[in-house]
Structures are given as structure tokens and as C-alpha cells.
Structure 1
Amino acid sequence: MISLDEAVTARLESHGARFEVLVDPDAALEIKRGEFDDELEDYIAAEDVFEDASSGDRPAESDLEKVFETTDPLEIIPEVIEKGEIQITAEQRREMQEQKRKQLITTITRNAINPQMDDAPHPPERIESALEEAGFTVDPMEPVSEQVDDALDALRPVIPIRFEEVSIAVQIPPEHAGSAQAKIRQYGDLESEEWQPDGSWIGVVTFPAGLQNDFYDVVNENTSGEAETQVVKDKDDLRTR
């Protein structure tokens, strides 16, 4: 379950009665789109149906039976969300918008590079500033994934930016290979790997280009700075050498 502070109210009026449920806003949108496939109990604030959620008043069981043909809240809640309207306060809207804005900045930072600066990542502060300069407004009721393309369109006149993946070859000396390769291989998609006769490890990992600095930190922390790395320029030839 989620807390009341995290929940929004979904309301359905039918047959002269009102039904309200308390649900996570993102989950509510997924349910409306028919895209929700998680456990409902994890995304509601109460396993209950209300006539007025703010006061805790409940509808008559006869109204539930008449409208939904059941009194089981877990069967009723999705129907209220699907057929009803999502109610949010101004404060909830501001909080949701701020949360989505942070998620959007994180997503862009993780995946974007600056093509005019040797494909270096853009820091979060630059993305945030550029979004403000572009006048981009985050929609609190839309998933971040569906706002990324519009955000990029708004950013391009302000800063040089594009989404890209990078492939980096890493060679780890024998004394660090055992533990370090296990962490490095999990950082992205392991394209290839090879154990050398001396016990060293060579692997090629592909991941969002914006994570390059974090990747190098992981490599250095787990190899005491003794690993060798090289960006693989030819994405069609990811063989370790």
C-alpha cells in the first residue's frame, strides 16, 4: 500500500451514487490506458471504496451491488479508475509536477550527450537550466517516458544534445579481475568478454552515453584505478582485442 500523501482520488458517479478510491497517480493512468499489470494492493492507499474519501464515508452495499455487481473492493477499484475521473488538488499537482520534472532531468542526463564536446554527458544542472530556458512545462499527469521526445525537441534549440549509447572496452588486471568484472558486466549490456591467459579480463559494455562518468567511477573504484578503458567507435565491431 501507499501513503495517503502519495494518493490521488479517482471518482465515479453512477446510478445516483458516488464512488471514490485512493490510488497512486501513475498507476491510475496506467489502469486507464489498460497498461497496468502489477499488484493493485501495492498502489492503493486503502483496500476500500468510499462515498467520500475525505470523510471516510462508505456507500451502501446495495449501491455497490447495483453498479458493480460485487462488493469486493479489489474488483471495484479498477473499474472506478477506468470509468471515473482522477481528482487532484493544486498541491498534489505541484508535487507530482516537481517529481516528474526531476525524473525527466534524470532520464535525459542518463541518456544524452553533447555532440559538440566529444560526446561528453550533459550534467543535470545544464539540462535543468536548458529546460527552464526553453520554457518546457512538465505534465504531471503523463508518464515521463511519453514526455522525453517533446523535451528533447524543446532542448535542441537551446543546447546541442542527442540520445546515444556508448560501448567501452575495459581491461582489468588479474588482481582485480574476479570481483571487478562482476560489477562492471552488470552496468549495461555485455557485448563480449574474454579471459586472458594471465588472468586478466577484457569486456565490452554498452550503456547510455550519459552514464560515462559514473561508469568510469565504478571501474576505478573496483580496480584501484588500474584498469584500461577505450571507447569502441565502430558499433558494428564489438570484438575485444
Structure 2
Amino acid sequence: MPINQPSNQIKLTNVSLVRMRKGKKRFELACYQNKVQDWRSGVETDLDEVLQIPSVFLNVSKGQVAPNDDLKASFGTTDQDKIILEILKKGELQVGEKERQAKLQQQHATVIDLVTSRCVNPTTKRPYPTTIIEKALSELGFNIVATKSAKAQALDAIKQLIAKQIIPIARARMRVRLTADAKEAKKYREAIVSLIEQIETEDWSQEWACVGFIEPGKYRELGEKLQQESKGRANIEVLDMAVIQEGEEAI
């Protein structure tokens, strides 16, 4: 004899939950992994791509759909669309262990890459392998977390590595010279120098000539900004490279 399952029981697997307590009840939404943050940031606008089931649950793991009486008592309405939007906006995202570990591993790799790209051995002026940076941070007791931006953590890690000198390490810098028509350069100078870490010299006598230091990763952005502002009538020249990749000669 077939067993009749209750009509409000829906079984779901491999979901991300968004939970919200309203009144005396806790409500849940069953969402696709990684889609809730995309929706909250505006990257995803289609709710069908976010919700596995367009229903409000009392317990997703048990497939227990919230009765209309509970919705009315807690939200003052039984309009599922309005309630779902409120839970998506204000609810707490529950991240699964595998998803959490994957995000942490990705964050870890990003932070290590950022530190590696911005630092050198001050004696050789060459970047360290990522394995050396990773080991130095481990000895430092520096913990990378998934809830803080990778850039902020990388900058903090660099400060601590330089302060403690577990390995000989210094910030990498590229020395560049910018040249342009002096009259035209006055119109966009501020937008350009905001990308320069330190100005060494600046001359306005015959043309605008600015020599300064930047992070190697800023070179492309600075060059593109300079060409955009000057309409292609300015130049950028690398005078010295603090970071020399294996097999390359210093410029």
C-alpha cells in the first residue's frame, strides 16, 4: 500500500538557508548556494535563480512549509512574495561547512597572492614564492578569515611581516615617470597623482614631468587612466623595477 506524504512536506538537498525569527516563530528560505549574496549585492536580480522553492518554511530540512496562520501572525500578511523579500533582505544566511571551507580556501589563496605581489626580498629585490610567504605568516600566527576583505587582510599581513622581519621583506615599488603638456596636465593632475604612492619630483617648466613610486599592480590602471585623461597625448615610462621576475633583467 502506498504511503501518502503530507502535502506540505517538501524534501530539499544541497541548499543554503536564510533564517529569520519573527515574533515567536523562525522562518527559513531554501536558496541555491552562493546566490543569496549575489542577490543582496545586486549581481543577481532573478529570484528564480536564488530560490530553490518559492515558499516560506518553518524547517527546510524537514520540508515543513509555514502555514498561512503563522505567516499572518508574524508578518501581518500571507503574501509570500513580500515575506520572501523581507527574509532575503534581513535574514541570516546559513553557510554549509563545505561552502564555508571553499570560501576560506579561496580567501586564503587571494591574501597570499596579494602579499606575494606587493613584497620583495630587499637584498635580491625579487619576490618570494607563495610557499615562503605562507610559512612566514604561519610563524607569525596570522589567521586569514573569510569575513574580512582580502585586501585589508593582505595590507595588515604586510605590516606585520615588515615589523617582525621573520624573513627579510619590504614593500615592492615601481619607479615611473609621467610626461604631458603642462597646460593640459593641470586639468587632470589630481586624478592621476591619486594613483601614485609617493611623488619623488615634479617639474612644470617646459612640460609636466612627474617621477614617483607605485605598486607594480597599479601600473596598468595608472597607464590607462593617464591615456584616458590626456586623450592619448601623455606618456608613462618605467624607470626602475623593484620586483624582478625570475629570468628577467632590471629595467
Structure 1 residue 123, shift from structure 2 partner: 2.4
Structure 1 residue 168, shift from structure 2 partner: 5.7
In structure 2, what is the equivalent of residue 204 of structure 1? 237
In structure 2, what is the equivalent of residue 147 of structure 1? 153
After superposition, the C-alpha distances for 1:208-227 in whole angstroms (9 at most, x for unaligned) are 976x649x99xxxxxxxxxx
In structure 1, what is the equivalent of residue 107 of structure 2? 100
In structure 2, what is the equivalent of residue 117 of structure 1? 123
State the secondary structure of the residue aligned to 2:167: coil
In structure 1, what is the equivalent of residue 210 of structure 2? none
**Alignment check: 8 A CA contact 1:168 1:205 kept:** yes
Q: Which amino acid aligns with 1:78?
A: K
Structure 1 residue 76, shift from structure 2 partner: 3.1
What is the 5 A alignment of 1:185-224? 187-190=220-223, 203-204=236-237, 213=245
Give the whole-Å Cα distance in 2 for the aligned partners of 1:79 and 1:151. Answer: 33
Q: Which amino acid aligns with 1:14?
A: K
**Alignment check: 8 A CA contact 1:100 1:144 kept:** yes
1:78 to 74, 89, 96: 89
Q: In the superposition, relative to structure 1, how do residues 54 and 138 fare at CA in structure 2: closer, same or farther (>3 Å)? A: farther
**Alignment check: 8 A CA contact 1:109 1:123 kept:** yes
Q: Which amino acid aligns with 1:77?
A: L
Matched, 1:10 2:18: yes
Number of equivalences:
181
TM-score w.r.t. structure 1 length? 0.54
Q: In the superposition, relative to structure 1, how do residues 15 and 26 fare at CA in structure 2: closer, same or farther (>3 Å)? A: closer
In structure 1, what is the equivalent of residue 187 of structure 2? none
1:131 to 133, 137, 152: 137
Give the whole-Å Cα distance in 2 for the aligned partners of 1:165 and 1:76. Answer: 47
After superposition, the C-alpha distances for 1:82-129 in whole angstroms (9 at most, x for unaligned) are xxxx4345444433322221121122223x122513543232222212
Structure 1 residue 64, shift from structure 2 partner: 3.9
Give the stretch that moved more between structures: 86-95 or 122-131: 86-95
What is the 5 A alignment of 1:16-31? 16-21=24-29, 22=31, 24=34, 27=37
After superposition, the C-alpha distances for 1:21-53 in whole angstroms (9 at most, x for unaligned) are 34639939x96xxxx343355984636443323
Structure 1 residue 151, shift from structure 2 partner: 2.2
Supply the RMSD in Å over aligned alpha carbons.
Answer: 4.4
Q: Which amino acid aligns with 1:24?
A: N
Give the whole-Å Cα distance in 1 for the aligned partners of 2:113 and 2:50. Answer: 26
Give the whole-Å Cα distance in 1 for the aligned partners of 2:129 and 2:51. Answer: 36
TM-score w.r.t. structure 2 length? 0.52
Give the whole-Å Cα distance in 2 for the aligned partners of 1:119 and 1:167. Answer: 13
Q: In the superposition, relative to structure 1, how do residues 58 and 134 fare at CA in structure 2: closer, same or farther (>3 Å)? A: same
Q: In the superposition, relative to structure 1, how do residues 120 and 38 fare at CA in structure 2: closer, same or farther (>3 Å)? A: same
After superposition, the C-alpha distances for 1:176-205 in whole angstroms (9 at most, x for unaligned) are xxxxxxxxxx94421767xxxxxxxx7537
In structure 2, what is the equivalent of residue 50 of structure 1? 57
Q: In the superposition, relative to structure 1, how do residues 90 and 213 fare at CA in structure 2: closer, same or farther (>3 Å)? A: same
Gaps of 5+ in 2: 1-12, 178-218, 228-234
Structure 1 residue 77, shift from structure 2 partner: 0.8
Structure 1 residue 164, shift from structure 2 partner: 4.6
What is the 5 A alignment of 1:55-74? 55-68=62-75, 69=77, 70-72=79-81, 73-74=84-85
In structure 2, what is the equivalent of residue 174 of structure 1? none
**Alignment check: 8 A CA contact 1:113 1:209 kept:** no
Q: In the superposition, relative to structure 1, how do residues 137 and 78 fare at CA in structure 2: closer, same or farther (>3 Å)? A: same
State the secondary structure of the residue aligned to 1:204: strand
| Percent identity (aligned) | 22
